[in-house]
Structure 1
């Protein structure tokens, strides 16, 4: 991560691990990198990791427009190429900011306050999100705020009690809890409208970021106690697992060249590193919430995908640099090492080996 990060942020793409400046940066990648950098700082509490957190958070701050939405694509000259990023970008960024706030016990107050400010600016737009994945990312991110003591108020270096109406309305716990419940139930209702005939999913296709949907409902269940959310999360996660864990005993994500359409067969390639990471995180959450250790075994298989227990029996980790290749395609490994792949493996490795 450090090698492909400059003073602006993390580069989107590389050519065999060397930053491709022509492709610039994205908020998506800097948000994911923020999660990885926080995990690195949790492990080492070193100045290098803290500097990375500053860089990625500064990028996200610059990405937020005056309305509170996040722009996504930035060219190498530091100019954003759009006024608003995708809905998925909004959700992913909230995930990262909420995750960072969950480490309020170790991160400096100035970083935490920046996260709080950015989330508060983005909140008015969350309920309008239509993309199921955007909703899922947002639910996961916002749930960290409710579960983390002190996450909802600015940190002051002296005793302070909110006094103005604006201060009292800042990151309202009741509002955020209600928002999580409403958009999670909306996801649950979409599932019920779509499932049937052995197809236990939220849409008529399995594409990218699939595991985020059941993960979001698991997180929402922990907050609300709504058993229907728990049931949908388990049923849909088990369905996803039935389509992504091969009979031979390894993890095989849905191929990005065609995906899996209802009633069809899954595309074999390309297998993307981000899918293994997000499925690993979801399975670990499921093991905890559902009190079922078999999900930990699935999480371990997701990690093993990176190290060679996969459809090609090839490790995706560059033995010289430690970076992650960009996936598995029909003729072998994609030897590029983009930020999404490197970050995904970093998160998977840190969560698996350092909690």
Structure 2
């Protein structure tokens, strides 16, 4: 299955400042303004395009300018910008810092113009000197570090950031029923697994790689029911939980797609190809409610899967999750996911 990728809704959600966070249906809700979380994700998916057209290159320029404006001299970032173009928060190192570094690391390597790659690299280096007290924030930042290390193995800032994040995630528990290193599955659960796989591969640490693959296999099994993904709901769950649960979020499917694509690239194992295909199929209706989340008429993605329906709003996070997942599917070699 080689999916068609539409950027129509991403263009609809964007203006000359950034990317609107929320939508009512497919109509941007401008009154809610922008957040760095989503703009950084937008920068990431646009820079993943191997042959961006002029419109996507313009989006990369706009998103990068937003990230630059958000960054404080100490390397931290604002997150929320109002429609009035005034920051509504103080700089910090929450998830938005991590996602900014993920987007910047991607832009530094894959940006469509040399000046974009250079500017993104400088901003990444500034932000990578910091660490967050929150595990997921460091996890997202480390994925940006992995992008840079893949082409520049001697980059010390990226190397240390990736190693630090992997150490904080920790190894699997000695418990076959719950090997997860945390007591609770929360959100973007496959992201820390991807960090372990990336660290094991790029830092040449076989133990980390094995730990990451073990946890990814468990997570994929845990989030599969009757041959389709049955994702951890927005409220999360702990040991002993039985699903299905709702509201299921596109970000969870996208994180699994990211991790499976990396595991497939590192190992070539069919299991991870099947996991990636399952993540793509979740958006198309192979899920607990049998309802597609992808909207072919708009190019957007609905915000959540409910027991008997879906959240019809098509915000930035969900639409970017759809694009990211389908990019992985499209980029597989001929013969895979056919």
Under a length normalisation based on structure 2, what TM-score does the superposition of the two structures give? 0.90
Are 2:32 and 1:32 aligned? no
1:120 is aligned to 125
2-structure distance, mates of 1:318, 1:85: 35
Residues 135-161 of structure 1: per-residue CA shift (max 9 Å, x gap): 221221112212225xx9xxxxxxxxx
2-structure distance, mates of 1:273, 1:333: 11
Residues 96-147 of structure 1: per-residue CA shift (max 9 Å, x gap): 111122226xx22211111011112112213xx2322122212211122122
Q: What is the 5 A alignment of 1:100-249?
A: 100-103=107-110, 107-126=112-131, 129-149=132-152, 173-188=155-170, 191-192=171-172, 196=175, 198-246=177-225, 248-249=226-227
Q: Aligned to 2:129, what secondary structure does the other structure show?
A: helix
Q: Aligned to 1:67, what secondary structure does the other structure show?
A: coil
- Uncovered stretches (5+) of structure 2, i.e. residues with no partner: 1-9, 333-338
Alignment RMSD (CA, Å): 1.8
Residues 301-350 of structure 1: per-residue CA shift (max 9 Å, x gap): 10001111111111112232121111211331110000111111111122
2:299 is aligned to 322
2:81 is aligned to 74
| Equivalent pair of 2:251/2:317 in contact (CA under 8 Å) | yes
Mean Cα deviation higher: 13-22 or 287-296:
287-296
Are 2:245 and 1:268 aligned? yes
1:160 is aligned to none
Q: Aligned to 1:328, what secondary structure does the other structure show?
A: strand
1-structure distance, mates of 2:134, 2:221: 24
Q: Aligned to 1:124, what secondary structure does the other structure show?
A: coil
Mean Cα deviation higher: 259-268 or 80-89:
259-268
Distance 1:300 1:68, change over 3 A: same
1-structure distance, mates of 2:163, 2:32: 38
2:279 is aligned to 302
2-structure distance, mates of 1:92, 1:204: 24
1-structure distance, mates of 2:137, 2:104: 14
1-structure distance, mates of 2:205, 2:144: 19
Mean Cα deviation higher: 174-183 or 64-73:
174-183
| Equivalent pair of 2:289/2:307 in contact (CA under 8 Å) | no
Under a length normalisation based on structure 1, what TM-score does the superposition of the two structures give? 0.86
| Equivalent pair of 2:169/2:181 in contact (CA under 8 Å) | yes
Distance 1:318 1:112, change over 3 A: same
Deviation at residue 239 of structure 1 after TM alignment: 1.7
Are 2:232 and 1:254 aligned? yes
Deviation at residue 225 of structure 1 after TM alignment: 1.5
Deviation at residue 182 of structure 1 after TM alignment: 3.2
Deviation at residue 175 of structure 1 after TM alignment: 4.2
User: Aligned residues, how many?
Assistant: 323
Of structures 1 and 2, the larger Rg is shown by 1
| Equivalent pair of 2:128/2:157 in contact (CA under 8 Å) | no
